[in-house]
Structure 1
Amino acid sequence: MFEQFYRVENSRNRATGGRGLGLTICSNIVEGHQGTISAYHSQDGGLGIQIEFPLN
Structure 2
Amino acid sequence: MLKSDEVAIEGDRITWLGEKPNLQTTRAIIVIAEENKTTPIKRRSPSKAIAV
User: TM-score, normalised on structure 2?
Assistant: 0.19
Which structure features the higher share of strand residues?
A: 1
Structure 1 or 2, whichever has the larger Rg, is: 2
User: TM-score, normalised on structure 1?
Assistant: 0.18
Which structure features the higher share of helix residues?
A: 1
